[in-house]
Amino acid sequence: MFIAKYTITNSILKNVGVIDAAREIVANAPLIPAWEAKFRKEAMERTVHHGTHLEGNNLSEEEVKDVLDGREVFARDRDVQEVINYRNVLKFIDNIAAQIGVGRSYILTIETILEIHKLTIQRILPDENAGKFRVRQVVVKNTKTGQVSFTPPPAAEAPYLVEDLIAWINSDETRQLHPVIKAGIIHYELSRVHPFVDGNGRTARAVATLIMFLDGYDIRKFFSLEEYFDGNPMDYYVTLQSVSNQLVLDTHERDLTPWLEYFVQGVAIELNRVKERVSRISADARVKDKLGEQVELNERQMMVMEYLHRYKSMMNKDFRKIFPDYSDDTVLRELKFLKQKGLVKKVGGTKKATYELK
Length of the chain: 358
Who contacts 235 (Cβ-Cβ below 8 Å, separation ≥6)?
262
DSSP letter for each residue of 128-189: GGTT----S---EE-TTT--EEE-PPPGGGHHHHHHHHHHHHTSHHHHTS-HHHHHHHHHHH
Who contacts 250 (Cβ-Cβ below 8 Å, separation ≥6)?
none
CB 239 within 8 A of CB 260: no
Q: Is 222 exposed, middle or buried (0-12, 13-18, 19+ CB in 10 A)?
A: buried
CB 83 within 8 A of CB 77: no
DSSP letter for each residue of 212-228: HHHTT--GGG---HHHH
Backbone dihedral angles phi then psi of residue 273, each to the nearest 5 degrees: -65, -45
How many Cβ atoms from other residues are within 10 Å of residue 19's Cβ? 24
The one catalytic residue among 50, 117, 194, 252 = 194
Q: Is 194 a catalytic residue?
A: yes
Q: Which long-range contacts (CB under 8 A, 24 or more apart) does 351-355 make?
A: 351/316, 352/315, 353/315, 353/316, 354/313, 354/314, 354/315, 355/304, 355/308, 355/313, 355/314, 355/315
CA distance 31 to 283: 9
Give the residue numbers marked as catalytic: 194
